[in-house]
């Protein structure tokens, strides 16, 4: 027997990176499929990455050559409740930053692209329901908590800005036990 942290619903620790897990969930639940005009680029592509004419869904940092993308990367993990009852039991949240990114032709963002992407992230996180912990969309994740967002403006931004981003903070809430496996 070995002592280890396990997710009770899985009987083991997580085997997937949280940013990959959330990226896959967002891609699976992405609802735009029939937008037209400039917004057509937001329609869900056949694959998450590698499309040249539509949005890309990445785990990791921004691809400087993509016009439309949603990318996820992991932030901090915090223990929000700790119990010592023979074995340790903790409720934790792990922050995943979800960034919506648009590059527009022109000097101002007068399109609806970033707003639509932001609304979709908010909708997807708000609809998360994990009923069956052992076979759901993100096994072991009890809830998604939409913590908020910030528009990103850099030191080099000026009136000619053509890159626009929103950084969303999403908390993945789960439980871990420390015991023998």
Residue 18 confidence (pLDDT) above 70: yes
Residue 134 confidence (pLDDT) above 60: no
What local confidence, expressed as pLDDT, does residue 78 receive?
96
Which residues in 115-130 are b (16+ Cβ under 10 Å) and which e?
eebbebbeebbeebeb
**What is d(CA 62, CA 56) in angstroms, rounded to the nearest whole number?**
10
Residue 100 confidence (pLDDT) above 70: yes
For the chain, domains (ranges, CATH) are: 3-180 (3.30.2000.10)
Pairing of strands 3-6, 163-180: antiparallel
pLDDT digits (tens, 9 = 90+) for 102-130: 987 655 556 789 999 999 999 999 998 77
The mean predicted confidence, pLDDT, of the chain is: 87
What local confidence, expressed as pLDDT, does residue 124 receive?
95
Residue 170's alpha-carbon distances to 41, 50, 128, in angstroms, are 24, 25, 12
pTM, two decimals, is 0.89
Highest mean pLDDT pick, 75-84, 148-157, 159-168: 75-84
What local confidence, expressed as pLDDT, does residue 138 receive?
86
Helix (H, G, I), strand (E, B) or coil at 55: coil
Angle ∠(68,69,75) on CA atoms, nearest 5: 150
How much is the average pLDDT of 17-41?
94
């Amino acid at each position: 027997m070995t002592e280890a942290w396990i997710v009770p619903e899985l009987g083991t620790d997580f085997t997937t990176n949280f940013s990959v897990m959330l990226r896959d969930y967002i891609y699976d639940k992405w609802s735009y499929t029939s937008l037209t005009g400039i917004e057509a680029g937001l329609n869900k592509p056949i694959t998450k990455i590698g499309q040249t004419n539509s949005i890309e869904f990445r785990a990791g940092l921004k691809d400087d050559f993509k016009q439309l993308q949603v990318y996820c990367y992991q932030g901090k993990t915090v223990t929000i409740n700790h119990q010592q009852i023979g074995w340790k039991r903790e409720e934790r949240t792990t922050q995943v930053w979800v960034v919506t990114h648009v590059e527009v032709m022109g000097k101002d963002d007068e399109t609806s692209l970033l707003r639509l992407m932001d609304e979709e992230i908010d909708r997807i996180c708000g609809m998360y329901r994990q009923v069956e912990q052992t076979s759901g969309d993100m096994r072991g994740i009890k809830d998604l908590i939409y913590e908020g967002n910030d528009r990103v403006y850099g030191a080099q931004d000026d009136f000619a800005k053509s890159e626009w981003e929103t950084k969303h903070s999403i908390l993945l809430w789960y439980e871990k036990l420390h015991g023998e496996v």
